Structure formats: C-alpha cells, structure tokens
Amino acid sequence: MKKQKFTRKQEQFYLKDFFIYIQTVKMLKSIEIDEELYEFIYDHFNFEILAECSEYKYELFNLNFLEFLIQEKCFLCFIKLNIDEYLESMLIYRDELKKAA
C-alpha cells in the first residue's frame, strides 16, 4: 500500500487545526466547565461552531498563531471567543446528536 503524500500547505492546515483544537480544549479544562460537556467537546469538537462564536468568524483560521505564542493572553481571549455562546451552541449540538441517534 502506498503512503499518501501531503503537500506542505495541507500539512500546515492540519497542524493549525490541531493547534486550535488542543488549545481550546486545554483552556476549557482550565476554566472547569461541566465535565460531561467538556468530554463531549473533547470528543466532538466542531470548528464551525467555534468560528461562529469567535469575533473573527471564519477569519479565525487565518490568524497568525505565532503571535499567540509570544503574548500573555489566554487562547480563548486571543481568538476572541464568546465562551457563553460557544458552550450554549455545543449544548444544542449535543442535543441534536442525541436526537439523531
């Protein structure tokens, strides 16, 4: 079987998405949200919901995350995430998945 080759750009998109995911769940764990909701977000992370709840919307994926690494803000502040809106949206998403199952 032949290994799939990824372009440098594809690799960068993947790594950026992974970085966003890891930093988001790390910060959510640190603010001690409901454990059941945290586990759901960890297992069913949704980039669209995250983008919709950020002031940046889909421009979120074009941010220079190197700037985050050299400053003092928390990640959720850096991406200007409305945490309450995000958690509410994830609760709705969880309920929709439960109904579909």
CA Rg, the chain, in Å?
15
Interatomic CA distance for residues 73 and 87, integer angstroms: 20
How is residue 4 annotated by DSSP?
A: P
- Indicate the domain borders of the chain: 8-100
pTM > 0.95: no
Interatomic CA distance for residues 44 and 94, integer angstroms: 9
Interatomic CA distance for residues 40 and 36, integer angstroms: 6
**pLDDT, tens digit (0-9, with 9 covering 90-100), for 91-101:** 999 999 999 97
**pLDDT, tens digit (0-9, with 9 covering 90-100), for 13-54:** 899 999 999 999 999 999 989 999 999 999 999 999 999 999
Residues 6+ apart with CB under 8 A from 77: none
